[in-house]
Structure 1
């Protein structure tokens, strides 16, 4: 199982001189998102060894095995348009995993999938807007789980694809990528366009047929045609063209290929 997070080294990798707040390490917490929101300090990461009440998108519970996950949250300023922050967070996680030699790609909006384990999901992300406009970004990565530790058959871990990583290093790399993406989106122009292009290149959803699961419970088979400027998914189906701001997509299995 992974060792305890090295808070001193994480602080060195995220120094106050570069605008990072205090690294808060909790042995156990209900939700790192709640803890980060309560603290109210920008770019002050909250990390934990055991999250007992984590949530994913659409309110789904995100179960945790003590010491096996990388669970952390950080409060960040808003970006415009806001829909790009969750996508950029997924891109940050994917970039960090690739730097560790892990093959990974994205499923819209921000699921991180591992082709090495039949495109199962390795990471959960939840961005929660605060009353003052700031946003808590929550990230949970399955690191050291065995198959039996995972709550659903569509989940995986880095260990299951043979990746033995240091959680402290991965935490710092994810957060640094996230901050670079955030800065680019805030600056706008060509910098923001670079983030959008990088996301499109890493997203396996674009340009394929999927089953779209909408928040109201309806499902529709559609073809994805790209993203709009808000980060919404452009689709074409039996009822014409549409843009989708929220929901899940299921990649349709092609002959000889795995599904996700």
Structure 2
């Protein structure tokens, strides 16, 4: 449903006993929620906008959506003592859980930071950008909610509406994502047992594992490899002609399913 976010409802749902969230800023329009969260530097303070006008994705890509069609938000979270490379991955888990809870749609995770909808041919419904800051990690995400096909920038993108979930209340999605993000971030920060639970959950949800993929690495090379796992640092483990090795998200431009 299109229309401005209800800031009072979000504050009432999130800033309450038993949750870590300390405040919610709802902006009618904003250049970048990640930049605003970094500027504020307030842990667990949520920044959300109806219209992001200068958003950023991985590797400096730009990202903008029509007003009132998406969930676009960022929050500064304390960096876990171990496993900072897992922050984009646990954010994907939170989005996956929230989409299922609010819409009933299955969502799959593509390493390192994409959420896909099988109901629309595994098109991308959400992108995630995590940026390390002096006060922690800014977690930013954008979920396409109500866009038509014509309002999306590329054919590989989708929205919840296009996958069959119409009239999604964006406030419900914001709250569900943040509830699940608090859960997974808490486990990641809780010690070895919690981290192991996070790792296992992500590996079950990641559809990249087990597939033949074309690995587009920085410098322009493309390698045909099989993705065989995700290691304890959050890196993708692949098997190629020279054996198994791990690649970090910062070294990869694209991971695409191999053609043919």
User: The TM-score by the shorter chain falls in which range?
Assistant: over 0.9
Over aligned residue pairs, what C-alpha RMSD do you find?
Answer: 1.3
**TM-score, L = length of structure 1:** 0.94
Deviations 1:60-89 (A, max 9, x none): 111211111110000000012210111000
User: Counterparts of 2:28 and 2:245 in 1: how far apart (Å)?
Assistant: 45
Partner of 2:188: 185
CA drift at 1:240: 2.4
CA distance in 2, matches of 1:153, 1:9: 34
Partner of residue 243 from structure 1, selected from 228, 242, 246: 246
Residues 19-168 of structure 1 aligned to structure 2 (within 5 Å): 19-79=20-80, 80-100=82-102, 101-130=104-133, 132-164=134-166, 165-168=168-171
Residue 93 of structure 2 aligns to a residue in which SS?
helix
Alpha-carbon spacing, 1:133–1:36, altered in 2? closer, same or farther (3 Å): closer
| Alignment partner of 1:218 is 2:221 | yes
Offset, 1:253: 5.0
**Could you say what secondary structure the match of 2:127 adopts?**
strand
Consecutive unaligned residues in structure 1, runs of 5 or more: 255-260
Counterparts of 1:225 and 1:196 in 2: how far apart (Å)? 14
SS at match of 1:74: strand
Calculate the TM-score normalised by the size of structure 2.
0.94
Give 3-state SS (helix, strand or coil) of 1:37's partner: helix
Which aligned segments of 4 or more residues in structure 1 are displaced greater than 3 angstroms? none
Larger displacement relative to structure 2 (27-36 or 2-11): 2-11
The gaps in structure 2 that reach 5 residues or longer are none
| CA distance in structure 2 between the partners assigned to 1:91 and 1:214 by the alignment | 25
* Larger CA deviation: 235-244 vs 83-92: 235-244
1:252 pairs with 2:253: no
State the distance in 1 between where 2:71 and 2:20 align.
Answer: 22
